[in-house]
Amino acid sequence: MTPSSSNALGLKKGAWSAHEDKLLKDYIEQYGEGNWHLIPRRTGLNRCRKSCRLRWLNYLRPNIKRGDFAEDEVDLMLRLHKILGNRWSLIAGRIPGRTANDVKNYWNTHIQPRSKQQKIEPDADELLQDAPVTIIHPQQYTTMSKTQNLSTSDKTQIVSNGGGNLISSLNEGGNNFNVSSLSSNVLLDDKIKKYLDELFDDREMEIEGDIEWSFGESSAQAEALDVVDQEEDNNRFFDYSLDEIMWNPMDSQQP
DNA sequence: AAAACCTCCAACCGCCAAGCG
DNA sequence: TCGCTTGGCGGTTGGAGGTTT
């Protein structure tokens, strides 16, 4: 990829200039998204339809967030990736302002190298066994987690403020963890490690009724994806009652 | 100071599914 | 039904800039 090369059809490749950006932006603001094949012809851009679409989606579109991922964004990304796998567009759709490319890049540069390292050094996770999990929510839906501490007396309760934003989680011992108390990079680092640990955990987890999934077991994972697909359209991904989300993977009794 | 190395991320590529004639 | 076009996706590449030696 050279900065201003062109392909066999004479279409320009490589980095976009400010002028090209303006042409594309002006066009979409006037005519809207879609009909990407018309854009080169109508704007005079010497770019292929795919290049135009990608430039808009990943860079020019309004409300795109730039810069480092916040703690809650990483938290959500890890959680969603565990369910969805490398379905970056679905994951990005749940993280406001982030594109699929952003999520994919972040995963490939920050998470994946460490997941490989952890596969090689599994003992490194032992230090993280006792920390409870706190769920953080940037969007208008609720989510769930299992407890990392697997003692049978411990449950994680998720508390929402009603607007879909998580306030805190607490265990039965009454320990309360505010989101704001988890703001340091060190804790974020620990959380990533923990979720990577879970990523390779093939324990099956069940929730009463029609929701069932597992990690590392193909048929149940397919069912989980079905749930995701069903919930996707109305933004109710993981939007279940408090009873349903109070559970412990090691408990024999389901809520 | 400069070369080597590393990290990040924008952009490209190839594939697939849906829509349409 | 078939083939073509288009939109969309995930995987990969490679240049830019930063860091280390």
For strand C, the positions having any atom within 7 A of a protein Cβ are 5-16
- Evaluate whether residue A81 is within a structural domain: yes
A93 & A134 share domain: yes
A56 & A112 share domain: no
For strand B, the positions having any atom within 7 A of a protein Cβ are 7-14
A129 & A79 share domain: yes
Identify the residue whose Cα has the smallest distance to the C1' of B6.
A109
Q: SS3 for A6?
A: strand
**Do residues A160 and A167 lie in contact, with contact meaning Cβ atoms separated by under 8 Å?**
yes
Radius of gyration of chain A (CA): 22
Q: Report pLDDT for A63.
A: 82
A87 & A39 share domain: no
Task: Output the average pLDDT for chain A.
Answer: 59
Q: How many domains does chain A have?
A: 2
HSE-up of residue A114 (Cα within 13 Å, Cβ side) = 18
Residue A53: give its domain's CATH number. 1.10.10
Q: Report pLDDT for A168.
A: 29
A23 & A134 share domain: no
A116-139: average pLDDT: 42
d(CA A150, CA A249): 8
Q: Which helix (H) or strand (E) holds A205?
A: strand A204-207
A128 & A29 share domain: no
A87 & A153 share domain: yes
- Over 80: is that where the pLDDT of A205 sits? no
Q: Which domain holds residue A44?
A: 18-60
Least trusted range by pLDDT, from A150-154, A231-235, A236-240:
A150-154
A32 & A114 share domain: no
A152 & A196 share domain: yes
